[in-house]
Amino acid sequence: MATFDNSDMEDQKDPCDSIPRYNENIEEDIAPARTLLEEYSKIPPDQVIAHIHAVRDKAWQIHPYPCLGRFRFLDLSISLHPLYPTVLARLKDSSPPQTFLDLGCCFGQDIRRLVADGAHGENLYGADLRLEFLELGYELFRDKGSLKAHFLEGDVFEEGDGAEGGKGLSKLDGKIDVIYAASFLHLFAWEEQVRAGTRMVRLMRDDSLVFGRQVGTTKPGVYARRTDTGRMRYRHDPDSFQKLWDVIGEKTGTKWKVKAELQKVKGWQSEEQEAHGIGNPRMMQFQVHRLK
Ligand SMILES: C[S@@+](CC[C@H](N)C(=O)[O-])C[C@H]1O[C@@H](n2cnc3c(N)ncnc32)[C@H](O)[C@@H]1O
């Protein structure tokens, strides 16, 4: 069995820790999110910003994820991924229809983007640990009565959940073709990522694909989380992410090929860390294809 020895990786300081987790104002261009809120959700243009703030602040009270505090959910990150056109075409045109799961979907903003771009809502699923985020997604996009996509409360680490008609991921076992996992696996330590990946494999059909983005690093290893005191997370570069999927493959009798890329993000780099050979965070965009 392939193993990945990370025992010599000390807890590393993260330059992102000095960036505020909560921004009072939206500082970046949110044109695609604004278009979605105006055209899909029919929110009057002069109300969009106040509406985003109101929903974001409710979510922040539930759990202070930086993707909420820094309005990263407005990126509609799925549409920035190089595989987006391919995935969208698969979801629009395949026969029989393909199914899609956004794992750790939070508001489900990427599902709304897919629907606005023509994907069939009834084949789309969003799952999150926190039901409140799913409800706030309906509030953000004002589509509770119209969206055909399915949302379910589920914990990726929960085994044997989802009794018939109940909540949980198990009802999707063996039914998913494409999983999107954005800012998700990076929340967890190595062993938890192995468990989460093993769970994803159980959810998927044979010819499946996992893609997404998450915080990566120039030096893979264990990093402390700023919240959840005492808990650790494992940050990857493309090679360590392939090793993770090798382990997941061995545990599940499957084989996976990772293609990933590290991208610099403004404000994330520390020249001092770089000079001392300490890892610097990057955004890692990835795709993981099943080979057998
Ligand atoms: C950092 S947010 C990312 C949300 C979204 N994917 C995005 O890119 O904006 C991580 C999400 O994962 C969910 N999550 C955390 N632990 C989970 C678990 N064990 N099972 C399912 N979802 C989980 C959180 O509730 C949260 O909505």
CA distance 180 to 147: 19
Angle, helix 109-116 to helix 131-141, in steps of 10 degrees: 40
- Find the 11 Cα to ligand 1 centroid distance in Å: 23
Over 90: is that where the pLDDT of 12 sits? no
- E strand residue ranges, the chain: 100-103, 124-128, 150-153, 176-180, 204-217, 221-224, 232-235, 256-263, 281-290
Residue from 184, 188, 213, 235 to probe ligand 1 pocket by mutation (most atoms less than 8 Å from CB): 184
Q: Confirm or reject: Cβ of 157 under 6 Å from ligand 1.
A: yes
Q: Given a cut of 50, is residue 5 above it in pLDDT? A: no
CB of 107 shorter than 6 A to ligand 1: no
Tokens at 51, concatenated: 């509406």
Q: What is the pLDDT of residues 119-165, one digit of tens each?
A: 999 999 999 999 999 999 999 999 999 999 999 999 999 976 544 44
**Ligand 1 pocket member 210 (CB < 6 A):** no
Cis amide leading into 64 (omega within 30): no
**Counting beta carbons within 10 angstroms of the beta carbon of residue 105, is it exposed (0 to 12), middle (13 to 18) or buried (19 or more)?**
buried
Q: Whose CA is nearest to atom 11 of ligand 1?
A: 104
Measured distance CA(10)–CA(232) in Å, rounded: 11
Residue bearing the bigger pLDDT, 9 or 290: 290
Three-state DSSP at 257 gives strand
- Give, in words, the CATH class of 77-290: alpha beta
CB distance 73 to ligand 1 below 6 Å: yes
pLDDT of residue 7: 36
Ligand 1 within 6 A of CB of 231: no
What confidence tens digit (pLDDT) does each residue in 71-98 have?
Answer: 999 999 999 999 999 999 999 999 999 9
For the CA of 188, the nearest atom of ligand 1: 16
Domain-by-domain residue ranges, the chain?
Answer: 77-290
The pLDDT tens digits for 189-224 are 999 999 999 999 999 998 899 999 999 999 999 987
pLDDT of residue 160: 65
Q: How far apart are CA 258 and CA 265, in angstroms?
A: 22
**Residue 109 CA: which ligand 1 atom is closest?**
9
Q: What is the identity of the amino acid at 121?
A: G
**What's residue 165's pLDDT?**
45
